[in-house]
Amino acid sequence: MTTMAGRATIREVADAAGVSRQTVSNSLIHPERVKGPTLERVRRVIDELGYRPSNAAQSLRSQRTGAVGFELNATGSATRNAVSFPFVLALSERAPAHNGHIVTFGTTSEHPLLSGYEDMVRSQLVDAFILADTHEGDPRPDWLDGARIPYAAFGRLWGRPELTSWADVDGAHGLRIATEHLLAQGYSTVGFLGWPAGSQVGDDRRRGWAAVHEDRSMPLGPEAMAVQDLGAATAAAGPLLDQVGRGGAIACASDMFALGVERAAAARGWRSGTDIGICGFDASVIAEIESLTSVALPLYEIADHLLGLLQDRLGGAPPPAAGLLVEPGLTIRSSSTR
């Protein structure tokens, strides 16, 4: 393949190979329609000229760009962003396998959010969107549905059971395996630190922790609640440590909470892992730096599902029958090994 600035067009390849444009096109898309020797000749020329079909021309013809939009949000909390980044990464890596690519955009004040989404579709910049950080009362799913703009969400669309274009982490399962892991490591009691009851994500995670106790006919361990803030988490962790005692463990609904538990434990001279087991949720950069065991989000599976879903919808398929819950794994580090 030669390295030259001017890109080769299908016509140049056709001329060089002594065939027509269509034969070149067929060689790439429907090779079975081209006779052996011809196919080989065309392929050699394609290789020599470094020909790649123009995405712009293909988009114009097919009325499909292959691009999926993803909004990056500056206003998200540090914790949210800690998940957003690995997720864009997963999307970007998996997109080619779905014949697409990812276009990121930020919400600047100039665009009143939703019309910005519409503009991107109207101008054929993207075919569809992937939403993250969907929250209860999020106007985007409804609005996009109304505008007939395809989308798929990372995160359950909690208030709207009829909207099924989503994939999410099975939070209950995450806390289940976290709790089971801590018990298997020999920690005496497993407490839970999460958000105040009523948060759907939080309640879901707590359910997994509680379920393990029920399965084993064990009395429920101690629990505490805090808002998503290091100070609050550390403060709430204190009493919890008293209850589980040295040799116990705490499963947390987020890495921030796990960090708080670690700080509280360190303050009383307890070493994480040895004196107290700790497990976080998200396996974010925080957990990595602090060497905290954490529930690892199955971001690649989720990215694959969402991208596949969009591809199907763009191909005319009806919405899926239901959303998809994906089971997370566990990244084990020193905070849960004695």
Partner DNA sequence: TGCCACAACTTGATCGTTCAAACTCACCCT
Partner DNA sequence: AGGGTGAGTTTGAACGATCAAGTTGTGGCA
Query: Contact positions toward DNA, by CB under 7 A?
Result: 7, 9-11, 18-23, 25-26, 28-29, 33-35, 37-39, 51-54, 56-58, 60-63
Q: How far is CA 219 from the centre of its chain?
A: 35
For the chain, first and last CA: distance in Å? 56
**Distance in angstroms (rounded) separating the CA atoms of residues 55 and 192:** 51
Q: Which is nearer to a second copy, 35 or 148 (CB)?
A: 148
Q: Which is nearer to a second copy, 167 or 299 (CB)?
A: 299
Q: Which is nearer to DNA, 23 or 228 (CB)?
A: 23
Q: Which among DNA, a second copy, none contacts residue 68 (Cβ within 5 to 8 A by kind)?
A: none
Give residues with Cβ within 8 angstroms of 153, minimum separation 6: 130, 131, 132, 134, 141, 165, 166, 167, 306
Task: Tell me the closest approach of the beta carbon of residue 72 to a second copy, in angstroms.
Answer: 5
Length of the chain: 338
Task: Tell me the closest approach of the beta carbon of residue 18 to DNA, in angstroms.
Answer: 7
Task: Tell me the closest approach of the beta carbon of residue 15 to DNA, in angstroms.
Answer: 10
* Rg, Å, the chain Cα set: 25
Is 313 strand, coil or helix? helix
Q: Which among a second copy, DNA, none contacts residue 214 (Cβ within 5 to 8 A by kind)?
A: none
Going by C-alpha positions, the residue among 102, 106, 112, 100 that lies closest to residue 71 is: 106
Q: Which among a second copy, DNA, none contacts residue 322 (Cβ within 5 to 8 A by kind)?
A: none
Task: Tell me the closest approach of the beta carbon of residue 40 to DNA, in angstroms.
Answer: 10
Q: Which is nearer to DNA, 65 or 189 (CB)?
A: 65
Q: Which is nearer to a second copy, 1 or 184 (CB)?
A: 1
Q: Which is nearer to a second copy, 63 or 217 (CB)?
A: 63
The token pair at 137 is 């009362």
Contact 196, 233 (CB under 8 A): no
Contact 247, 188 (CB under 8 A): yes
Q: Which among a second copy, DNA, none contacts residue 23 (Cβ within 5 to 8 A by kind)?
A: DNA
**Distance in angstroms (rounded) separating the CA atoms of residues 241 and 262:** 10
Q: Which among DNA, a second copy, none contacts residue 4 (Cβ within 5 to 8 A by kind)?
A: a second copy
Give residues with Cβ within 8 angstroms of 190, minimum separation 6: 179, 182, 183, 209, 212, 221, 244, 248, 249, 250, 251, 277
Point out which residues bind a second copy (CB under 8 A): 1, 3-5, 7-8, 50-57, 59-60, 63, 65, 67, 72, 74, 78, 81-82, 84-86, 88-89, 91-93, 95-96, 101-106, 108, 110, 115, 118-119, 121-125, 146-148, 230, 256, 259, 266-267, 285-286, 288-291
Task: Tell me the closest approach of the beta carbon of residue 162 to a second copy, in angstroms.
Answer: 20
Query: Hey, which residues does 293 pair with through a beta bridge?
Result: 279
Q: Which is nearer to DNA, 234 or 311 (CB)?
A: 311
Task: Tell me the closest approach of the beta carbon of residue 60 to a second copy, in angstroms.
Answer: 4
**Distance in angstroms (rounded) separating the CA atoms of residues 67 and 220:** 48
